[in-house]
């Protein structure tokens, strides 16, 4: 793709503005997606952090759930961060009784795995494909409990936050084909390299 791709950010709920700014700094056309026709115009999509159950319900209400599933099945590149990772997971642990996901990523994800808001933490992570560590911000973050054979593990927790002693080694970034997901918030802190990996995938698609 030679022209600047159009990358949407799911904008019905969640951490939208920071993703738009980061994508814009990388030379792509970044747009808000609230309706199926807006999704249809996109070459890739970001599912941001937020409240995963609310985001899923709004996707159904606004007629986005089935178009999202169809586009992901067709190979549209998607980046899911925090709640976005939960929405992409085929299986969810510790979800609500009526929790649904978009799916497309062969993982089991545990919601709020590191604890509640008070247990938010930051640390530097080695992430496959990047030369230097990424400063990762975890806010009510999930982790991946199980990953299918087609899923590439990109990053694991390297040191335990105080509130979660069993966190070391937990999977917090994965990729399966054109789907990339992180437990942390790469849009926070001004480091656009995770988004850069995603933009590269969109350009190749």
**E strand or H helix that includes residue 176:** strand 171-176
185 in catalytic set: yes
Euclidean distance between CA atoms 82 and 59, whole angstroms: 17
Of 18, 43, 119, 187, the catalytic one is: 187
82 in catalytic set: yes
CA distances from 187 to 8, 47, 104, 182, 193 (A): 14, 12, 22, 11, 10
Is residue 202 within 8 A of residue 1, CB to CB? The reply is yes
Is residue 155 within 8 A of residue 147, CB to CB? The reply is no
Among candidate residues 20, 175, 34, 201, the one with its CA nearest the CA of residue 105: 175
| Close Cβ partners of 204 (under 8 Å, ≥ 6 residues apart) | 1
Euclidean distance between CA atoms 36 and 193, whole angstroms: 29
187 in catalytic set: yes
Of 18, 43, 82, 119, the catalytic one is: 82
Of 18, 42, 119, 185, the catalytic one is: 185
Using alpha carbons only, what angle is made at residue 147 by residues 58 and 39, rounded to the nearest 5 degrees? 30
- Catalytic positions, please? 82, 185, 187
């Amino acid at each position: 793709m030679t022209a600047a791709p159009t990358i949407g950010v799911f904008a019905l709920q969640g951490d939208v503005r920071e993703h738009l700014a980061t994508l814009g700094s990388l030379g792509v056309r970044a747009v808000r997606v609230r309706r199926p026709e807006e999704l249809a115009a996109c070459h890739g999509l970001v599912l941001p952090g937020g409240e995963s159950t609310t985001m899923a319900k709004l996707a159904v209400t606004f007629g986005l759930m089935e178009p999202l599933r169809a586009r992901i099945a067709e190979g549209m590149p998607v980046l899911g961060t925090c709640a976005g990772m939960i929405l992409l997971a085929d299986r969810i642990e510790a979800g609500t009784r009526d929790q649904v996901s978009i799916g497309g990523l062969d993982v089991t994800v545990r919601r709020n795995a590191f604890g509640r808001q008070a247990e938010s933490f930051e640390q530097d992570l080695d992430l496959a494909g990047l030369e230097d560590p990424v400063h990762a911000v975890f806010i009510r973050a999930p982790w991946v409990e199980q990953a299918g054979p087609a899923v590439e593990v990109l990053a694991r927790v390297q040191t335990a936050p105080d509130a979660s002693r069993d966190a070391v080694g937990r999977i917090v970034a994965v990729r399966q084909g054109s789907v990339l997901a992180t437990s942390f918030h790469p849009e926070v802190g001004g480091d656009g390299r995770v988004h850069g990996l995603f933009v590269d995938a969109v350009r190749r698609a």
